[in-house]
Amino acid sequence: MVCLAKYIVVTGGVVSSIGKGITAASIGRILRSYGLELTAIKIDPYLNWDSGTLNPYQHGEVFVTQDGMETDLDLGHYERFLDVNLSGEGNITTGKVYQSVISKEREGSYLGSCVQIIPHITDEIKQMVRKIARESQADVVLVEVGGTVGDIEGQPFLEALRQLRNEEGHDNVMFVHVTYVPYLRAAGEFKTKPTQHSTKELRGTGINPDMIICRSELPIDYALKKKIAHFCDVEQNAVINCPDVSSIYEVPLVMDRENVGKYVINRIKLDVAEDSHDLTEWRKIVKSLKKEDPVLKVGIVGKYVELEDSYMSIRESLRHAAAHVGAKVKIEWISAEDSLNTQQLDELDSILIPGGFGERGISGKLDAVRYSIENNVPVFGICLGMQCMVIEFARMHGFEGANSTEFDQDSSNPVIDMMEEQKKIKHMGGTMRLGAYDCKLKSGTLAHQAYQEELVQERHRHRFELNNEFRSQLEDKGLIISGTSPDDFLVEIVELDDHPWFLGCQFHPEFKSRPNRAHPIFVSFMQATMDNKDK
Ligand code: GLN
């Protein structure tokens, strides 16, 4: 079936980590400013079924969608730049494609045929891509192919997308190749050869890029763009330069100056006037995000602090909220694995304890909770961070050896325990409590003041919860339960009221913050951080 959506396929070359996701999301932001509806697909050619079982050190944060899929962090960029909730099915992996083809083969769907990469795997990929296009009803579907052109795992995907262009028509599918143009200090010049080679590699798959986006450390000049256009066989106005900028949110503005929108609209014949877009709101957001003072110092006490990408959505949420309260956030990354240096903590305006798995780093997180309670420093715990708040609060109030059964199966006071429905589950992948669930708020609490709503919906990713057997005892000691599941069964938010700002939530609010709509809890936390700084 021919779909009405237009497709923009984004590939990458030369090196990884050049911001292909941000570049693709920025094209999306520009097209959104024309009033177009967009959705995004991220293809990850690895064999894992989803990102849930990947180590954050290797792959950065696991982003959780509203519908409960554990996905690549690029989906987070797309949600933040496009301001849409994406379907988790939009993260296509080799694992998902092969699993689906193999189960069809077992069902007998291909009876009589030899099942092959072409056509069976490529057909499956096209079907998955078209399903997202159809269900989203978007005008434009961004399809980012992870990895770099030439990777063995990526080949079936490139072949499928090449076929997609033939089937949907040249006017409905375009290819954007993102490359890196290095500057050789010794030679005193930029080098286009890596871009030429990776474009040649891409053309070897039968795909001619329509646009080349050149990432570079510094701006490149017109002559260089002309050379790239000539050697890579693209139009001159389709060679776009995207030099490094201080904030990722500036990228759509940089690309807009290069008239990316105009080229795309004409190339895939989008039904909008080429000068009918308006990035005023985005420009305002970028300006507020670039505010230099006052600087609020927030310490993130976590396990994966060497790789900031592990806490990507938290970092972005803090930035959005700081901009919302008219400040700039400076994050101090504090390893929970080393013993905490209180002098370092004394310099902070607030502390955030993020989520995580396993015992490593727990004692540092518990120390940080105790420090915040004893020193009246605002503290925000997310998921495992909230569980640590409950454990330390319990220990401070006489529950000896209080712990989570995740770390101590024999704890005499298991204040955090595995959820009942989790106890029977044996498989690790995709089996946690995942995705959006309702949370009912108690009036008069910090949470209620922040949201100004009775019922909210937040995304989850956990197996453990506050143990209901301890709930009333902890409440007697002063723990406030300000958010629960609508049936009151699961504790969602805890607070303390003899403290300037102490809030822990079992869910992950960071997945819902957008630059234009900072998350209410993060805003409340940044306001408390500002108040603490002013003290
Ligand atoms: N390990 C904890 C649990 O599974 C917390 C998970 C998290 O922080 N995402 O409940």
pLDDT confidence of residue 3: 52
* Cα Rg, the chain, nearest whole Å: 25
Domain 291-533, CATH homologous superfamily name and number: Class I glutamine amidotransferase (GATase) domain (3.40.50.880)
Question: Hey, which of 416, 433, 461, 492 would you mutate to test ligand 1's pocket, going by the most ligand atoms within 8 Å of its Cβ?
Answer: 461
Task: Determine the Cα angle at 192 with ends 180 and 147, to 5°.
Answer: 30
* Cα–Cα distance measured from residue 360 to residue 432, given in angstroms and rounded to the nearest whole number: 20
Closest protein CA for atom 8 of ligand 1: 355
pLDDT confidence of residue 316: 96
> Is residue 57's pLDDT more than 90?
no
* Cα–Cα distance measured from residue 520 to residue 522, given in angstroms and rounded to the nearest whole number: 5
Taking the CA atoms of residue 116, residue 122, residue 127 and residue 128 in that order, the dihedral angle to the nearest 10 degrees is: 110
Token couple for 254: 């940089």
Place of tokens 């922040």: 450
* Cα–Cα distance measured from residue 353 to residue 383, given in angstroms and rounded to the nearest whole number: 9
Cα–Cα nearest to 522, from 514, 38, 193: 514
Where does 258-341 have alpha helices with state H? 260-267, 280-289, 312-324
- The helix/strand/coil state of 246 is coil
Cα(366) to centroid(ligand 1), Å: 15
Q: What is the mean pLDDT of residues 161-190?
A: 95
Tell whether the torsion through CA atoms of 456, 457, 458 and 460 is positive or negative.
positive
Question: Hey, which of 54, 357, 408, 511 would you mutate to test ligand 1's pocket, going by the most ligand atoms within 8 Å of its Cβ?
Answer: 357
Cα(396) to centroid(ligand 1), Å: 22
pLDDT confidence of residue 15: 81
Cα(41) to centroid(ligand 1), Å: 27
Contact between 361 and 57 (Cβ < 8 Å): no
User: Do 6-286 and 291-533 agree at the fold level?
Assistant: yes
Please state the atom number of ligand 1 nearest to the C-alpha of residue 355: 8
- 473: burial class by Cβ within 10 Å (0-12, 13-18, 19+)? middle
Please state the atom number of ligand 1 nearest to the C-alpha of residue 382: 8
Tell me the C-alpha to C-alpha distance, in Å, between residue 277 and each of 122, 262, 487: 36, 10, 46
Helix, strand, coil percentages, rounded to 5, for the chain: 40, 25, 35
pLDDT in tens, 350-398: 999 999 998 888 999 999 999 999 999 999 999 999 999 999 999 999 9
Q: Is the peptide bond before 119 cis (omega within 30 degrees of 0)?
A: yes
* 383 counts as catalytic: yes
DSSP one-letter string for 396-455: HTT-TTEEETTT-TT-SEEEEEE-HHHHT----TT-SEEEEEEEEEPTTSHHHHHH-SSE
Contacts of residues 469-473 at CB distance under 8 Å and 24 or more positions apart, as own/partner, are: 470/394, 470/399, 470/413, 470/415, 473/399
Confidence class for position 56, pLDDT limits 50, 70, 90? confident
* Cα–Cα distance measured from residue 194 to residue 408, given in angstroms and rounded to the nearest whole number: 53
Q: Which is catalytic among the residues 383, 388, 439, 505?
A: 383
Q: What is the mean pLDDT of residues 15-32?
A: 92
Contact between 389 and 504 (Cβ < 8 Å): yes
pLDDT in tens, 466-505: 999 999 999 999 999 999 999 999 999 999 989 999 999 9
Confidence class for position 307, pLDDT limits 50, 70, 90? confident
pLDDT in tens, 33-53: 999 999 999 999 999 888 887
Query: Would you give the end-to-end CA distance of the chain in angstroms?
Result: 64
Q: What is the mean pLDDT of residues 289-311?
A: 90
Q: Is the peptide bond before 486 cis (omega within 30 degrees of 0)?
A: no
Closest protein CA for atom 5 of ligand 1: 384
pTM score of the predicted model: 0.94
pLDDT confidence of residue 2: 47
pLDDT confidence of residue 227: 96
Q: Which is catalytic among the residues 120, 448, 508, 519?
A: 508
Cα(76) to centroid(ligand 1), Å: 19
* Cα–Cα distance measured from residue 388 to residue 338, given in angstroms and rounded to the nearest whole number: 17
* Cα–Cα distance measured from residue 69 to residue 421, given in angstroms and rounded to the nearest whole number: 18
Task: Determine the Cα angle at 223 with ends 217 and 229, to 5°.
Answer: 90
Confidence class for position 288, pLDDT limits 50, 70, 90? very high
Cα–Cα nearest to 458, from 492, 505, 507, 503: 507
For the chain, what is the total number of helices (H) and then of strands (E)? 19, 23
* 508 counts as catalytic: yes
Cα(432) to centroid(ligand 1), Å: 9
Cα(418) to centroid(ligand 1), Å: 10
The correct CATH number of 6-286 out of 3.30.110.30, 1.10.40.30, 1.10.3720.10, 3.40.50.300 is: 3.40.50.300
Q: Which helix (H) or strand (E) holds 201?
A: helix 193-204
Contact between 502 and 389 (Cβ < 8 Å): yes
Token couple for 483: 């958010």
Q: What is the mean pLDDT of residues 275-297?
A: 93
* Cα–Cα distance measured from residue 76 to residue 42, given in angstroms and rounded to the nearest whole number: 11
- Ramachandran angles phi, psi of 224, nearest 5°: -70, -40
Please state the atom number of ligand 1 nearest to the C-alpha of residue 508: 9
* 189 counts as catalytic: no
Where does 306-405 have alpha helices with state H? 312-324, 342-346, 362-375, 384-396
- Ramachandran angles phi, psi of 55, nearest 5°: -75, 130
Q: Which helix (H) or strand (E) holds 222?
A: helix 222-232
Domain positions in the chain are 6-286, 291-533
Provide the residue count of the chain: 535
Task: Determine the Cα angle at 459 with ends 498 and 335, to 5°.
Answer: 60
